[in-house]
Amino acid sequence: MVSRLALLSSMMLLLAVGTNAGGIAIYWGQNGGEGTLAETCSTGNYDFVNLAFLATFGNSQTPMINLAGHCDPYSNGCTKLTTDIKSCQAKGVKVMLTLGGAAGSYYLTSAEDAKQVATYLWNNFLGGQSSTRPLGEAVLDGIDFDIEGGTTQHWDDLARYLSGYSSQGKKVYLTAAPQCPFPDAYIGTALKTGLFDYVWVQFYNNPPCQYSGGITNLEDAWKQWTSDIPAAKIFLGLPASPTAAGSGYIPVGDLTSKVLPAIKSSSKYGGVMLWDKYHDDQTGYSSSIKSHV
């Protein structure tokens, strides 16, 4: 009887710990030396892989994906990724297409422009039909907004149009990577729509709200994001190595002993986002933190 009770209590403890266990999201695509997409998902470390980037779109431009050294979109060379995408999804990993980035050419001129971009994304990367799908026939799980330039307007329109496609069968997940100063300068309005499922906030390259030995600034910003943004889950976005960003890297020991214990009690805690797979390969960061996330 005693051993049965002990077993029961340990199972309940496991359940309690498990309920607030988070996942890891990773960015892949900007370094040919980071391994294939299939290899990335086979590590078992990641719950989300964000394909970075669709860097050119909007304002009547021909949309263009940029996956650096992985494949050449100009010769339809990225369609070979279909097999890898399906392999990831078969393992339960959600694969997102990331819009924007720090060096893209993207701009939305109007709500109509946003609608045209949404239609393009649906037909070429999601559940629609097109003869020119850059990644082949695989249907991605959704769209990630990493908007760091262009315009502050109409991202909410784009989110609404994309979300509307969820009614056509498979849910279109919407995620975003805003900077930690609140509200985000570019997609602050879009995030208020409540249409975003997961928001991985960039707590790096932003000294006022990132970790710098002391946790106060980060914790204050975290509380604001989790209380003011109507998303299902908020993730702590970090560089996977000291060289992955200008500032904001958190040593593994500090993350697991100081930072995560301070933020995991939030019901909106979703896990950790890392930039990026290449730097994670150099440090083994995701493997080191996975059991703590």
Q: 2-16, 47-61, 142-156, 190-204 — which is least confidently predicted?
A: 2-16
Map tokens 């078992």 to a residue: 44
Residues paired with residue 97 on neighbouring β-strands, in sequence order: 51, 143
| Average pLDDT value for residue range 263-288 | 98
Using 50, 70 and 90 to split pLDDT, how confident is the model at 12?
A: very low
Is a pLDDT exceeding 50 seen at residue 6? no
User: Which pLDDT value is given to residue 16?
Assistant: 40
Whole-prediction pTM value?
0.93
User: Which pLDDT value is given to residue 20?
Assistant: 67
Quick one: which of 245, 261, 254 has its CA closest to 180? 245
User: Which pLDDT value is given to residue 167?
Assistant: 87
- 3-class secondary-structure state, position 279: helix
Q: How many CB atoms lie within 10 A of CB 194?
A: 11
Q: 12-26, 161-175, 191-205, 258-272 — which is least confidently predicted?
A: 12-26
Neighbouring C-alpha atoms within 13 Å toward the C-beta of 143? 29
Distance CA 187, CA 159 (A): 10
Distance CA 264, CA 17 (A): 11
What residue segments make up the domains of the chain, in order of their start? Answer: 23-290
User: Which pLDDT value is given to residue 195?
Assistant: 98
Instruction: Please check whether the domain covering 23-290 is classified as CATH 3.20.20.80.
Output: yes
Active-site positions?
148
User: Which pLDDT value is given to residue 13?
Assistant: 42
Distance CA 80, CA 71 (A): 9
Q: Which amino acid type is present at position 291?
A: S
